[in-house]
Amino acid sequence: MAKNVVSVVRYEEPYQSLKKVVFECGGFDHLPSKARVFIKPNIVFWTRACTFPKWGVITTSRVIENMVILLKEHGIEDITIGEGMAVDPEDTKTPAHAFEYLGYKKLKELYGVKYINIMERPFRKVDLGDGISLKYNQDILESDFLVDIPVLKTQNQTVVSLGIKNLKGVIDIASRKKCHNADSQKDLHFHISKISDPMPPSLTVIDGIFSLERGPGFDGRMKRSNLLVASSDMLSADLVGSRILGHDPSTVGYLVHTANRRGRPLDLSDIEVIGEEIENVTSYHEYDFDYLKNESGEMPKALAKQGLKGIYYRKYDATMCTYCSALNGLILTAIRQAWQGEPWDNIEVLTGKAMEPSPGMKATLLIGQCMYRKNKDHPDIQKMFAAKGCPPDPQDIVDFLNKAGIAVDSALFSQVDQLPGFFMSRYEGNPDFDESFFRIS
């Protein structure tokens, strides 16, 4: 039986490195002539307020342009680049700014490609079996061929985020929230494992020029890895990508579900790796933030080391969707800055859809509509503070933290769009983190 081929190439020069990784895996062998091709990059977050920290967070514009050139040389004229960013779906200015900054407008001028914000396009409901249905962008469903270009990164809820996970960006907001449900059997991993099922024939190219530890966002650790991984089989690309990130695929729930459903082994025994040997390019990337639980409370390790007491900030789980998780780090930063050395009075913070209050807490903070609906009448809550929005209004969070006795700086929340710039500054002046990879000349 023929094995699934995955090519692993060190990124050494523009275009040639991409061409090598694509052709070594037979990436265009199933590309129809005159096909309508959909390119799916990974643009997780964006802000117009500051220069965005891109390295390892989003797909490089260089790989996108080189892929367009390769497709054009292969006779493909109908090319669409599409993404649905994790921003308010009513906000069309931020995606437009991202597309222009990343050079997609220039790609249209140079090569005639189209680029779309999928939140402005029609969606179609697709039955995925097992009682699961999600709404997909219609453009990708009607394409003849998909080029999926995720980033090489780990992710704090799913261990890794590669080709299959990248397709979460082509479903609508309600479907994304549905993936983060509280069903222990049909959880986030189970939903993600099905996302690629309705896709047309595809090529996956994992952009590992830059990689990310503890992703998916800008608060992770960015690295220069100089790798490209490609396969015509998305699952195979992800299995190899997981190993390169230092994680056994058997520890990645959605890869386990996908492989089991397709009768595939997780040990890569049905995969032929061409090019670099996995062992020679593996670099362990942590995927999670450490939390501690002791007599002082439950909280991130960094806050515990600072000495914070009297607050239990329970560790997030897979039920917390993107729109609440975007605020999670900000809330923790605000609490850390508010600490003055005096213990707070047994305050507990709950997130996601599954957590329940602990007995004996003097105050319980419920973040998000889902937490409020689940626990608003819970008998163990002595005093409740709730930010009920979906996602919560930052000002509501400021108000309830202050009322609970945690005097946070409201300026942090009013200037939330500036936060990525703080993380960006860590890489300033480092020649490995070159801005030109995200520009089209």
Successive 10-residue mean pLDDT values, the chain, 441 residues:
92 96 96 96 85 84 97 97 87 92 95 96 96 97 98 95 97 93 92 97 97 86 96 98 98 97 96 97 92 73 84 88 80 87 89 91 90 93 88 84 86 73 80 90 81
6 — phi, psi (to 5°)? -125, 130
Helix (H, G, I), strand (E, B) or coil at 160: strand
pLDDT value of residue 422 = 76
**What's the first-to-final CA gap in the chain, in angstroms?**
45
Dihedral class, residue 114 (left if φ above 0, else alpha if ψ from -120 to 50, else beta):
beta
Tell me the C-alpha distance between 272 and 231, whole Å: 10
pLDDT value of residue 297 = 65
pTM above 0.85, yes or no: yes
CB 305 within 8 A of CB 341: no
CB 47 within 8 A of CB 420: yes
Domains and CATH numbers, the chain: 4-287 (3.40.50.11440), 291-422 (no CATH)
106 — phi, psi (to 5°)? -65, -35
CB 204 within 8 A of CB 163: yes
Tell me the C-alpha distance between 40 and 57, whole Å: 14
Tokens of 106: 């220039």
pLDDT value of residue 99 = 94
pLDDT value of residue 336 = 87
pLDDT value of residue 305 = 84
pLDDT value of residue 304 = 83
Tell me the C-alpha distance between 42 and 220, whole Å: 16
Burial letters 410-429, b for 16+ CB under 10 A, else e: bebbeeeeebbbebbeeeee
* Whole-Å CA distances, 270 to 6, 201, 239, 255, 432: 11, 20, 11, 15, 35
Amino acid occupying residue 371: M
Bridge-based pairing state of the strands 36-40 and 145-148: parallel
pLDDT value of residue 294 = 65
Helices (H), 339-365: none
